[in-house]
Amino acid sequence: MKRLFVGNLPSSATEASVIELFSECGKVHSIKLATDMFSGKCIGFGFISMEGHEARAAIEKLNGYSYGGKSLRIGFEDSSNKRGRRR
């Protein structure tokens, strides 16, 4: 399972609409969009979990894709840069 960072999402993005978009590349196992605490609207990024080969296909197909008037930025989550973890 790979976790993707999805950036530059429009505020109109919903979990359902993003799942629909990414489902073209494979099964979305989980999704979490960052939302504004008061309005509940997307604040521009989120994380999606997919199988490895499907995640790579999603990056290939959707990175730079125009969605809601914005160009999506998609890549694998950088697990070495997690906040709150001390080593």
The pLDDT of residue 76 is above 90: yes
pLDDT over 80 at 80, yes or no: no
* CATH assignment, 2-77: 3.30.70.330
Rounded Cα distance between 50 and 1, Å, is 6
pTM attached to this predicted model: 0.87
Can you give the pLDDT at residue 78? 79
Residues 26-69 pLDDT 10s: 999 999 999 999 999 999 999 999 999 999 999 999 999 999 99
- For residue 28 the two structure tokens come to 């979305």
Give the model's confidence band at 82: pLDDT under 50 very low, under 70 low, under 90 confident, else very high. Answer: low
Give the bridge partners for 28, in sequence order: 50
pLDDT at 84: 53
